[in-house]
Amino acid sequence: MPDEVVDISAMPEIRVASPAEGKLEIASTSNLPVIAATAAASLALSACGGGGGTGSSDSGGSGSTPPVTPPKALTEAEAARFLAQAAVGITRTQIARVQAVGYAAWIDEQIALAPSTSRWDWLKAKGFDAATNIFTQNGFDGAVWGKLISAPDTLRQRVTQALSEIIVVGIDGLVGAGWQPFSAAAYLDMLEVNSFGNFRTLLEAVSTSPAMGQYLTFRGNTKFNAKTGALPDENYAREIMQLFTIGLVQLNLDGTPKLGSNGAQQETYTLDDISGLAKVFTGWDFDLSTSKTDTPDFAKRPMTQVAARHETGEKKFLGSTIAAGMDGVQSLKAALDTIFAHPNVAPFISKQLIQRLVTSNPSPAYVTRVATIFNNDGKNVKGNLAAVVKAILLDDEARNANNLSNAQFGKVREPIFRFLAWARAFNLRTVSDLWNVGNTSDPASRLGQSPMRSGSVFNFFRPGYVPPNSPVGNASLVAPELQITNESTVIGYVNFMQRMVSQTNTDLVADYSSLLKLVSDPAGLVKELNLVLAAGQLSDATVSTIVSAIGGMASETDAQKNNRIYAALTLVLAAPEFIVIK
């Protein structure tokens, strides 16, 4: 795909009229990407958090309020808003389905859907397991984007992506054994299989994953060597606690830090805990019993134990002791049981899932309600992720329409999901069946984010990121996605989307037939885009600005009609109210 900006000569220029208010102003035809500055200003100054529940009917309650019951008759905008949180993208078909069955039944239907073709199977079917591909990343992006764009289990894909940003593996870190696409695909497939399962089961699958073993360097980890002084690798032992389960400080059920008698936060673990836990993760290595690394199959099988390398001595961590003499499998299960039992797990994971789906700054009451379900789904089961996801999406704080006008509610839509909103809304298809979206990590010319391509185990952005010297920080809020937002990324995003909507990537074809019917009606065209892309949340001022802009464009010939559609799409996709999801 070319990197230059598509020249749509009839497209108007957009400039910032009032950055503090996030307004758009149409001028001429030469500089479409300037709209990105508007989005950046709005993101930094308005609704990038979530919070305090000031628009919720239970903003300061005890956490006992049950989830809201969906109304009998949902509007299109209500259904679209729900899908903006629960799905990969909004479609007319899904809007109608949510309206027909209600929020809860739609979630149940999505959970019951059989998973679509796995990324692993797709790579195999396309022949990417040929020996010539062993040390390439060929096929990976197509496998991942294809699922995100086209899989019918849209809620499962949304949750899988959320989990991949909490329990992180990056494809570029899977070095040494080759077959990076298959290792990364197997990891995502594993997350997907467990996305509505039990978190304890997920932890064990993660801890025996060949991809995680490579990424956090405990594959091949061996016990203490008295002669050389070599110690077990502590990388995974540290990150499974810090990032994947309990965090750095002890938490109340509502996600706020517990304070000691001196008013200070209390650490969850020490260096000794890391060292003790690291002994558990010794002796784990690829299972090469049925095939070697000349094929990718080893990357799909859970790692196995090499008894001679496992530390069989006593292991102490988090106030527990694994007795000497336990084998590697027994030690792992005992260690994960200990971690899973920690009181931090429920609020730590629940809050991050809320952040990924609904709002960056959920109220303590919202976190309490979800964490309570995490601890007990009503059937005395802890860690039921299906119940947790359902609780997040049906909670009053997520569904309450008052939060649409709450400037502290919502979240910045990740660049991945901005692209997917367009792709899903207009039934994007691939001519080659290879989904040639590519690696979209380049911030200057693409999205600045690409699935499974985080630069570190800390994800693309931290859940507690606060933009420095910003109103967000002054309001004691966080805005995670703004960690990957700057002048380059916002302009790069708009340029990339302008190229995509204009169909310059000939392998990816969008269906604009519904828009062609509205092309002579600028107001009707923008109304439709507002619904299926922005869940009806564009302000009257933004709608008026875009309607005026495209209304001034010629629409007599087919090319002119297409240009009007391209311009309308680009303007909506760059609008602050689209980029900030409420």
Q: Which of 407, 250, 209 is nearest to 344 (CA)?
A: 250
Distance CA 216, CA 218 (A): 6
Domain boundary assignment for the chain: 14-49+410-581, 202-343
What single-letter DSSP state applies at residue 267? Answer: B
Q: Which of 348, 242, 211, 233 is nearest to 283 (CA)?
A: 233
Percent of the chain with pLDDT over 90: 86
What single-letter DSSP state applies at residue 249? Answer: B
Q: Which of 479, 575, 481 is nearest to 50 (CA)?
A: 479
Distances (CA, A) of 232 to 173, 276, 310, 550: 20, 10, 10, 63
Name the phi and psi angles at 277, rounded to 5.
-70, -35
Q: What's the maximum distance between 2 C-alpha atoms anywhere in the chain?
A: 83
- pLDDT, one tens digit per residue, over 454-486 is 999 999 999 999 999 999 999 999 999 999 999
Task: List alpha helices for 279-414, DSSP H.
Answer: 328-341, 345-357, 364-375, 385-394, 396-399
Is residue 46 a contact partner of residue 407, using CB atoms and an 8 Å limit?
Answer: yes
Tokens encoding 388:
């947790």
Is residue 382 a contact partner of residue 374, using CB atoms and an 8 Å limit?
Answer: yes
Distance CA 424, CA 548 (A): 26
pLDDT score, position 82: 98
Cα dihedral across residues 127, 128, 134, 138: positive or negative: positive
pLDDT tops 80 at residue 176: yes
Q: Which of 358, 340, 430 is nearest to 396 (CA)?
A: 358
Q: Which of 227, 311, 241 is nearest to 273 (CA)?
A: 241
| Alpha-carbon torsion angle 416, 419, 421, 423, nearest 10 | -130
pLDDT score, position 226: 83
Is residue 407 a contact partner of residue 413, using CB atoms and an 8 Å limit?
Answer: no
Distance CA 569, CA 350 (A): 34
Distance CA 158, CA 192 (A): 10
Predicted TM-score (pTM) above 0.85: yes
Reduce the secondary structure of 495-526 to three states and give it as a string: HHHHHHHCCCCCCEECCCHHHHCCCCCHHHHH
Average pLDDT, the chain: 90
What single-letter DSSP state applies at residue 580? Answer: E
**The tokens 């060929």 sit on which residue?**
138
Phi-psi region of 335 (alpha: psi -120 to 50; beta: other; left: phi over 0): alpha
- pLDDT, one tens digit per residue, over 196-245 is 999 999 999 999 999 999 999 999 999 998 888 889 999 999 999 999 99
- pLDDT, one tens digit per residue, over 100-138 is 999 999 999 999 999 899 999 999 999 999 999 999 999
- pLDDT, one tens digit per residue, over 298-340 is 999 999 999 999 999 999 999 999 999 999 999 999 999 999 9
| AA letter at 186 | A
Angle between helices 271-278 and 235-242 (to 10 degrees): 120
What single-letter DSSP state applies at residue 302? Answer: P
pLDDT tops 50 at residue 28: no
pLDDT score, position 52: 40
Distance CA 481, CA 472 (A): 12
